[in-house]
């Protein structure tokens, strides 16, 4: 489909603009998608971390539950079975959550958890065996390997949780701090709880701690005490929730009170062999702060999940906005291109087609309306006005041409009669009489009139009268050479040297031979007629950039550059030629006939400023 350069420029400019907007919107969309994907990954890892932590807590809870049940209950099997089943479900959930993650090493972490829990499952038989024994016959030391397997599972879960937490911490600093709070709270709970397990046998027998136990007891207390200080530092961050602060305060006070009671009991160990306190009371004392400490971890985990979800929701909103922007840019671009096509490209195509028809002088078809009240619509109306004016001018010109042709034909008969009588009178009137001189003047006037009638007939035919033959393929070299040869007698009579120059090969051209003859007969005739005595005329035929070119060059006085366009006007003659024989129609005829052949005609002078070169280029 053809488009004007203006339309192409506008569409190209619009395309560049829309491409820029599209790229900008695409970059925003990609960035939004990246943030959304990152937020989704953070949320998923946070959820996985929570599952791992819940499994860790549940697995760890088996130790106090089973130990208390074995000491205090006649039939502890329901409690032990329930604790084991709950821990088994939590481990399974943790493994499934790990399998859905993509952080490095998740396969190895899952394998470590599965291996450690497999040992727990195997050693669970020793716990069940103790549960079937009478309460007086049970020995908690028998299940030490089972407790070690539990701690191995806890370590494997904790290691996986730390790895997942590190992935979350990289993604968001707030979640990183909440994960740190949760892990610190677990450290407090774990280290505080270890003293209960370690001191249980000493409590049963009121046996003072040896040096190794004192070191281990003091070390665990130092670790969880330091963890409280770590929590205090984390609370300094602006934006820590009131609920989290309250949970920390409650857990700190509960742990302080429970630890004071533990210290009092340990201080009463007297080697009596009797329990310093009842087993159930000791268990209750140990368990007292656990829930409040775990509440810190749970609150931190919940807030981390909420923050991750908020990040994902915000990222989704940005992604949605970016998607809407991108869609809007694409839609606007399509609308703009379609609108330009409808409002500009289509009207421009209509106008360009109309201009092309007008340039070919095809005036019968009206210029279509663009159906638009803008500049293009005004241009279409102006072109239609021009078409109708040109159509009327062409009609008038054709009428004038027909009148000229008809008048010329009508005048030929009386002119022939006049020339016949002049010839008869020339034989009757003596040459030495005064009447003979007048007769010569009449003869010259008749010759000029006959020449003028011939020129008028040629001009009428050039202006639109049917040609004698249709266009055909002719050898331009042969045609021009023949025309030049016909003018040799005229050149000899005028003392002019006439030359023809062309390569010895055919120059095939699609043209009407009569039209070609009229054009170059006029040009060669003018070159001879207006040349100086002893001058020369050169007719050249050659190819230039794939076009056949004919040049007729003389070394006469030439035509001033300012008047070279005027000489193609009908009846225009140079001032110096007013007294010479001629009608001023020759070059007008040449131009009309050249236009009929789609040939281009141009004039130039030699470097010295004299002479004239007329160049005719055939398309």
The Cβ of residue 531 has, within 10 Å, a number of other Cβ atoms equal to 23
Q: What is the DSSP string of 397-443?
A: HHHHHHHHHHHHHHHHHHHHHHHHHHHHHHHHS-TTSHHHHHHHHHH
pLDDT at 451: 58
DSSP for residue 575:
G
pLDDT at 466: 45
Whole-number percent of the chain with pLDDT over 90: 15
Q: Half-sphere exposure (CA, 13 Å, Cβ side) for 7?
A: 21
Asked whether the CA dihedral 102, 105, 111, 116 is positive or negative, the reply is negative
Nearest to 478 by CA among 498, 501, 519, 506: 506
| pLDDT tens-place string over residues 146-162 | 989 998 998 898 888 87
Q: Half-sphere exposure (CA, 13 Å, Cβ side) for 419?
A: 14
pLDDT confidence band for 481 (50 / 70 / 90): very high
pLDDT confidence band for 171 (50 / 70 / 90): low
Highest mean pLDDT among 16-20, 47-51, 382-386, 547-551: 547-551
pLDDT confidence band for 63 (50 / 70 / 90): confident
Query: Could you give the CA distance from residue 367 to residue 385 in angstroms, rounded to a whole number?
Result: 9
Residue scoring higher pLDDT (404 or 20): 20
pLDDT confidence band for 402 (50 / 70 / 90): low
Give the chain's mean pLDDT. 79
The Cβ of residue 183 has, within 10 Å, a number of other Cβ atoms equal to 19
Question: Averaged over 521-548, what is the pLDDT?
Answer: 88
pLDDT confidence band for 469 (50 / 70 / 90): very low
Beta bridge partners of 511: 472
Question: Averaged over 218-224, what is the pLDDT?
Answer: 89
pLDDT confidence band for 467 (50 / 70 / 90): very low
pLDDT of 221 > 50? The answer is yes
pLDDT at 290: 85
pLDDT confidence band for 482 (50 / 70 / 90): very high
Task: Assess contact for 167 and 103: CB atoms under 8 A.
Answer: yes
The Cβ of residue 588 has, within 10 Å, a number of other Cβ atoms equal to 22
| pLDDT tens-place string over residues 324-379 | 777 877 777 777 667 666 666 667 677 777 777 777 777 777 777 766 666 667 77
Nearest to 308 by CA among 184, 164, 489: 164
Nearest to 76 by CA among 294, 283, 292, 275: 283
Residue scoring higher pLDDT (560 or 130): 130
pLDDT confidence band for 471 (50 / 70 / 90): low
Task: Assess contact for 545 and 618: CB atoms under 8 A.
Answer: no
Task: Assess contact for 138 and 130: CB atoms under 8 A.
Answer: yes
DSSP for residue 619:
-
Nearest to 4 by CA among 404, 513, 514, 347: 347
pLDDT confidence band for 9 (50 / 70 / 90): low
Q: What is the DSSP string of 235-265?
A: TTSTT--HHHHHHHHHHHHHHHHHHHHHHHH
From residue 596, give the alpha-carbon distance in Å to each of 276, 321, 461, 564.
Answer: 131, 65, 11, 20
pLDDT at 115: 94
- For 24-28, 488-492, 577-581, which range has the lowest pLDDT when averaged over its residues? 577-581
Query: Could you give the CA distance from residue 610 to residue 135 in angstroms, rounded to a whole number?
Result: 140
Phi, psi of 132 (to 5 degrees): -80, -15
Query: Could you give the CA distance from residue 524 to residue 543 in angstroms, rounded to a whole number?
Result: 20
Question: Averaged over 418-443, what is the pLDDT?
Answer: 70
Question: Averaged over 517-536, what is the pLDDT?
Answer: 86
Highest mean pLDDT among 163-167, 425-429, 604-608: 163-167
Query: Could you give the CA distance from residue 117 to residue 575 in angstroms, rounded to a whole number?
Result: 122
Nearest to 332 by CA among 6, 31, 19: 19
DSSP for residue 374:
S
Query: Could you give the CA distance from residue 570 to residue 590 in angstroms, rounded to a whole number?
Result: 11
| pLDDT tens-place string over residues 544-562 | 888 899 999 988 887 777 6
Highest mean pLDDT among 208-222, 569-583, 584-598: 208-222
pLDDT at 538: 92
Nearest to 171 by CA among 302, 296, 310, 40: 40
Query: How much of the chain is helix, strand and coil, in % rounded to 5?
Result: 75, 5, 20
Query: Could you give the CA distance from residue 398 to residue 165 in angstroms, rounded to a whole number?
Result: 97
Asked whether the CA dihedral 100, 101, 106, 110 is positive or negative, the reply is negative
| pLDDT tens-place string over residues 250-265 | 999 999 998 999 999 9
pLDDT at 2: 41
All residues at 6 or more sequence positions from 118 whose CB lies less than 8 Å from its CB, including other chains:
none
Query: Could you give the CA distance from residue 566 to residue 100 in angstroms, rounded to a whole number?
Result: 92
């Amino acid at each position: 489909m053809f488009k004007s350069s203006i339309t192409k420029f506008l569409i190209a400019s619009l395309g560049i603009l829309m491409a820029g907007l599209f790229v900008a919107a695409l970059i925003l969309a990609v960035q939004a998608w990246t943030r959304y994907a990152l937020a989704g990954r953070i949320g998923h890892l946070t959820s996985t971390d929570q599952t791992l932590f819940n499994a860790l807590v549940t697995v760890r809870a088996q130790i106090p539950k089973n130990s208390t049940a074995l000491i205090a209950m006649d039939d502890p099997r329901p409690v032990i079975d329930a604790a084991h089943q709950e821990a088994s479900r939590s481990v399974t959930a943790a493994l499934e959550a790990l399998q859905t993650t993509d952080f490095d090493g998740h396969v190895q972490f899952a394998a470590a958890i599965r291996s450690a829990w497999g040992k727990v499952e195997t050693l669970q038989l020793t716990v069940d065996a103790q549960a079937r024994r009478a309460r007086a016959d049970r020995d908690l030391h028998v299940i030490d390997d089972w407790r070690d397997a539990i701690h191995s599972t806890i370590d494997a879960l904790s290691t996986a949780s730390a790895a997942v937490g590190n992935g979350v911490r990289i993604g968001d600093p707030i979640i990183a701090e909440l994960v740190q709070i949760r892990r610190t709270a677990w450290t407090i709970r774990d280290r505080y709880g270890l003293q209960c397990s370690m001191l249980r046998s000493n409590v049963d027998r009121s046996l003072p701690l040896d040096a190794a136990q004192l070191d281990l007891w003091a070390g665990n207390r130092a670790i969880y005490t330091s963890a409280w200080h770590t929590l205090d530092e984390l609370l300094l961050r602006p934006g820590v929730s009131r609920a989290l602060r309250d949970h920390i305060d409650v857990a700190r006070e509960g742990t302080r009170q429970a630890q004071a009671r533990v210290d009092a009991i340990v201080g009463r160990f007297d080697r009596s062999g009797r329990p310093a306190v009842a087993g159930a009371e000791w268990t209750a004392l140990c368990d007292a702060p656990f829930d409040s400490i775990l509440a810190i971890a749970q609150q931190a985990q919940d807030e981390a999940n909420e923050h991750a979800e908020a990040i994902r929701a915000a990222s989704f909103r940005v992604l949605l906005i970016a998607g809407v922007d991108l869609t809007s840019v694409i839609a606007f671009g399509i609308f703009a291109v379609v609108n330009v096509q409808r409002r500009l490209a289509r009207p421009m195509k209509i106008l360009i087609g109309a201009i092309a028809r007008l340039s070919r002088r095809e005036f019968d078809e009206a210029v279509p309306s663009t159906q638009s009240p803008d500049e293009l619509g005004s241009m279409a109306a102006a072109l239609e006005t021009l078409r109708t004016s040109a159509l009327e001018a062409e009609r008038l010109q054709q009428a004038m041409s027909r009148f000229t042709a008809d008048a010329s034909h009508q005048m030929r008969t009386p002119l022939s009669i006049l020339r016949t009588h002049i010839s008869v009178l020339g034989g009757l009137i003596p040459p030495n009489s005064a009447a003979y001189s007048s007769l010569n003047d009449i003869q010259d006037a008749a010759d000029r009139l006959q020449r003028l009638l011939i020129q008028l007939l040629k001009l009428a035919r050039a202006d639109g009268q049917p040609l004698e033959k249709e266009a055909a393929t002719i050898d331009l070299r042969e045609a021009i050479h023949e025309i030049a040869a016909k003018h040799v007698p005229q050149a000899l009579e005028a003392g002019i040297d006439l030359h023809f120059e062309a390569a010895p090969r055919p120059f095939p051209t699609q043209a009407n031979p009569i039209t070609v003859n009229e054009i170059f007969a006029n040009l060669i005739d003018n070159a001879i007629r207006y040349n100086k005595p002893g001058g020369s005329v050169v007719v050249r035929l050659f190819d230039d950039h794939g076009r056949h070119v004919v040049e007729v060059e003389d070394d006469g006085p030439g035509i001033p550059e300012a008047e070279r366009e005027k000489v193609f006007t009908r009846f225009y003659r140079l001032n110096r030629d007013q007294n010479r024989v001629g009608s001023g129609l020759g070059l007008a005829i040449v131009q009309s006939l050249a236009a009929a052949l789609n040939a281009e005609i141009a004039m130039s002078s030699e470097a010295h400023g004299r002479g004239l070169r007329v160049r005719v280029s055939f398309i």
